[in-house]
Amino acid sequence: MTQERPGPRVREVAVGSILSPSKLADYCLNPYAGCEHGCVYCYARFATRFSHPNEKWGSFVDARTNAPMLIEKEAARKRAGRVVISSVSDGWQPQEKKYCLTRRCLAVLLRHSYSVFLQTKSALAQRDFDLIEGHANVEFGVTLTTVEPGVARLFEPGASAPCDRIEVVIKARRIGIRTFVFLGPLLPYISDRGVGLRELLDTVAEVNPDYFLVDRLNPRYGMWGSLSAALSSYDSGLVPEYRRMLYDRQARDHYTMELRHRIAGEAGERGLAGKMRLCF
């Protein structure tokens, strides 16, 4: 039986601006701070280290309820460019069902001819396909770190099941949107080799997106505690292996080299080499 997760503590907050300059694109837009998906390896937790010190990642969400009002002003005033939604949270995490902040901001951006790059782990995103259908300046993709539902539940406890994410990106492709699949971070010894990796690349071949990205697991702010706890319940023998891969420079270089080789081999076997973009 799957244990029900307690809902997050939700705060409604007002922010000063919503369209921020970004290294990933021209701008990023985060209608939420904190993410109920609570991925144990999440790199975004640094963004709330001052506003939510000592609160468990995944247990709180700030809904920036003035985001739709701000974006109306900022989108009109700023140069129309490429916007990533979202960079430090998931724009379609469960609270979005109630607040519709991502949906409302997206509608404004498209009206002002901004290009949008949408990435999610939530099947809720398909609710907004009526907005993006017919837009050539939209890219939509889902993140997959594994196709195994039990593994995903452990490492990404609040996100949609992998099969639901896959269905959503297939739907996006069917309505003519440019699509991608983000395989990352690949979980060492779980989905970065053997059956786990083959299943992921078989899925990419089945979805047939315009391109797919691959990333390795990176050591980032505050993630070790939740990552090692999840690993301990999956297979405690992996804890020292992960520690070495993340924090020992030589082991990490070796791991990276081997991973690149494995990915290239599996992608090549499926005729996917031309669609692959490595992030490391």
Binding site for ligand SF4 (CB under 6 A): 35, 37-39, 42, 44, 89-90, 121, 156, 159
The residue (of 121 and 135) whose beta carbon lies closer to ligand SF4 is 121
Closest separation in Å from C-beta 89 to ligand SF4: 5
The residue (of 160 and 179) whose beta carbon lies closer to ligand SF4 is 160
Closest separation in Å from C-beta 122 to ligand SF4: 8
Closest separation in Å from C-beta 92 to ligand SF4: 9
The residue (of 27 and 92) whose beta carbon lies closer to ligand SF4 is 92
Sign of CA dihedral 190, 2, 87, 45: negative
Distance of alpha carbon 136 from alpha carbon 199, whole angstroms: 30
The residue (of 56 and 174) whose beta carbon lies closer to ligand SF4 is 56
The residue (of 159 and 197) whose beta carbon lies closer to ligand SF4 is 159
Closest separation in Å from C-beta 35 to ligand SF4: 3
Closest separation in Å from C-beta 40 to ligand SF4: 9
The residue (of 27 and 155) whose beta carbon lies closer to ligand SF4 is 155
Closest separation in Å from C-beta 189 to ligand SF4: 20
